[in-house]
């Protein structure tokens, strides 16, 4: 085929893809809608490029485990010191860890997972009125693939997004009734836990416990409730593409299905569900504040033949109030640790992240 014919073929494919993306988007029924329609083969907008699929086959298996940290007894000085040390090490080496005995009652976590299931499994017509990809359209949005029109491959998941970016108060009536009480209760608990984790992280950086809170890192949350339907061809797609989180910190509640993986020493490691555990990961913004002491690790979610899988990511994004400027913490900069990043505002950082396909880190845009 001549070069011109080749690029024309590519153009036609691009055109078809856009048409197919639009048709999928217009259903406002997400991936769940596809599964409900009885498909046995996944639409091509979800199929990963062949070089990625081949690379997947050659990946070795690692026997490493993501650290599990017991949070009980952190009020007691000796215990607290041990937890601070464990969290420092995990944040430096992995950027990822699981917490057990974190204080969120299992009834609250289980209720939340159940609420998310109810939202996604309710009548499609009722869900449609929340479907939007316009972040200005309201504080509660349901969508599939926030980066649908930017990414090369669509992900096998749908999402209910609750924005607490501009104010931590949300009128319960704004939240869909099927999961209202569960979400309100979970947000209260995860907010408190987040503050405790930030105090431990501050200490792990050698700072006063309130340092990160005083920088308003605990503000500006979004609660992102994912639903990954069972997939008829799980080896051809992903639940969530390889990415790092742009936030300061993510606290993730996952059910017992599994599929989350973290990239560690260039190998994908399963973040296996731990009974009543929560996954915590360092985001790009905290990597910048810590001047590269803590790392934001790449992670992804495999698609699964069984399911649905549900998870809830609470992103602590930081203050959206202008003109709050963030940058590497001055106390951490010295001759041996020279400044590595420029300053940023959260609004600018998140806008950059949202305008690119999932997996394109904004971190390097701010590296000096």
User: Which of residues 147 and 245 has its CB atom nearest to ligand OGA in the complex?
Assistant: 245
User: Which of residues 227 and 329 has its CB atom nearest to ligand OGA in the complex?
Assistant: 227
User: Which partner in ligand OGA, Ni ion, none is near 260 (CB below 5 to 8 A by kind)?
Assistant: ligand OGA
Structure-block tokens of residue 160: 């209910």
State the Rg of the chain over Cα: 21
Minimum separation from the CB atom of position 159 to ligand OGA (A): 8
User: Which of residues 160 and 288 has its CB atom nearest to ligand OGA in the complex?
Assistant: 160
Per-residue interface string for the shown chain with ligand OGA, residues 218-257, x marking contact by CB under 6 A: ------x-x-------------x----x------x-x---
Number of residues forming the site for Ni ion (CB under 5 A): 1
User: Which partner in ligand OGA, Ni ion, none is near 249 (CB below 5 to 8 A by kind)?
Assistant: none
Number of residues forming the site for ligand OGA (CB under 6 A): 11
Exposed e or buried b per residue across 16-44, where buried means at least 16 C-beta atoms within 10 angstroms of its C-beta: eeeeebeebbeebbbbbbbbeeeeeebee
User: Which of residues 120 and 211 has its CB atom nearest to ligand OGA in the complex?
Assistant: 120
CA distances from 129 to 110, 142, 353 (A): 26, 9, 26
Minimum separation from the CB atom of position 5 to ligand OGA (A): 40
From candidates 87, 253, 260, 262, binder to ligand OGA by CB under 6 A? 260
Least Cα distance to 45 among 153, 149, 147 occurs for 153
CB atoms within 10 A of CB 204: 21
Report the residue closest to ligand OGA, judged by CB.
Answer: 311
In the block, residue with structure tokens 């799980």: 234
Taking CB under 6 A as the criterion, which residues in 185-224 touch ligand OGA? 224
Task: Determine, following the binding rule CB under 6 A, whether residue 161 of this chain makes contact with ligand OGA.
Answer: no
Task: Determine, following the binding rule CB under 5 A, whether residue 245 of this chain makes contact with Ni ion.
Answer: yes
CA distances from 196 to 95, 212, 298 (A): 17, 11, 24
Exposed e or buried b per residue across 116-136, where buried means at least 16 C-beta atoms within 10 angstroms of its C-beta: bbebbeeebeebeebbbbebe
Minimum separation from the CB atom of position 336 to ligand OGA (A): 33
- What are the residues whose beta carbons fall under 8 Å from the beta carbon of 289, sequence distance 6 or more? 212, 215, 217, 248, 326, 327, 328, 329
Taking CB under 6 A as the criterion, which residues in 271-310 touch ligand OGA? 299, 301
User: Which partner in Ni ion, ligand OGA, none is near 42 (CB below 5 to 8 A by kind)?
Assistant: none
Minimum separation from the CB atom of position 226 to Ni ion (A): 10
Rounded-to-integer distance, Cα 153 and Cα 42, Å? 12
Rounded-to-integer distance, Cα 124 and Cα 127, Å? 5
User: Which of residues 252 and 286 has its CB atom nearest to ligand OGA in the complex?
Assistant: 252
Structure-block tokens of residue 224: 């992102």
Minimum separation from the CB atom of position 155 to Ni ion (A): 11
Minimum separation from the CB atom of position 247 to ligand OGA (A): 9
Per-residue interface string for the shown chain with ligand OGA, residues 308-327, x marking contact by CB under 6 A: ---x-x--------------
User: Which partner in ligand OGA, Ni ion, none is near 88 (CB below 5 to 8 A by kind)?
Assistant: none
Minimum separation from the CB atom of position 23 to ligand OGA (A): 25
For ligand OGA, the binding residues (CB under 6 A) are 224, 226, 240, 245, 252, 254, 260, 299, 301, 311, 313
For Ni ion, the binding residues (CB under 5 A) are 245
């Amino acid at each position: 085929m001549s070069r011109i014919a080749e690029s024309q073929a590519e153009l036609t494919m691009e055109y078809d893809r856009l048409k197919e993306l639009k048709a999928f988007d217009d259903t406002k029924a997400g991936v769940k809608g596809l599964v409900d329609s009885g498909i046995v083969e996944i639409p091509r907008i979800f199929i990963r490029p062949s070089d990625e699929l081949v690379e997947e086959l050659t990946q070795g298996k690692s026997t490493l485990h993501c650290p599990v940290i017991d949070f009980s007894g952190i009020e007691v000085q000796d215990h607290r010191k041990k937890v601070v040390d464990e969290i420092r090490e995990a944040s430096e080496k992995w950027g990822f860890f699981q917490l057990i005995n974190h204080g969120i009652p299992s009834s609250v976590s289980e209720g939340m997972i159940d609420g998310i299931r109810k939202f996604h499994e309710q009548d499609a017509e009722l869900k449609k009125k929340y479907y939007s990809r316009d972040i200005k359209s309201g504080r509660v949005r349901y969508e599939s693939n926030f980066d649908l029109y930017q990414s090369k491959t669509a992900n096998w998941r749908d999402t209910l997004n609750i924005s607490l970016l501009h104010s931590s108060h949300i009128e319960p009536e704004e939240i869909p009734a099927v999961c209202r009480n569960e979400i309100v209760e979970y947000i209260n608990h995860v907010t408190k836990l987040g503050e405790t984790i930030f105090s431990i992280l501050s200490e792990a950086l050698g700072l006063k416990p309130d340092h990160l809170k005083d920088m308003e890192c605990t503000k500006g949350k979004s609660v992102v409730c994912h639903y990954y339907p069972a997939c008829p061809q799980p080896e051809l797609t992903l639940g969530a593409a390889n990415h790092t989180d742009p936030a300061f910190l993510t606290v993730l509640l996952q059910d017992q299905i599994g599929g989350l993986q973290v990239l560690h020493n260039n190998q994908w490691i399963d973040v296996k569900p731990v009974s009543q555990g929560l996954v915590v990961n360092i985001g790009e913004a905290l990597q910048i504040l810590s001047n590269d002491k803590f790392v934001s690790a790449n992670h992804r979610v495999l698609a699964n033949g069984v399911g649905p899988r549900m998870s809830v990511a609470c992103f602590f994004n930081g203050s959206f109030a202008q003109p709050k400027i963030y940058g590497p913490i001055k106390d951490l900069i010295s001759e041996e640790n020279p400044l590595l990043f420029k300053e940023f505002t959260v609004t600018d950082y998140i806008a950059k992240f949202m305008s690119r396909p999932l997996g394109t880190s904004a971190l390097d845009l701010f590296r000096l």
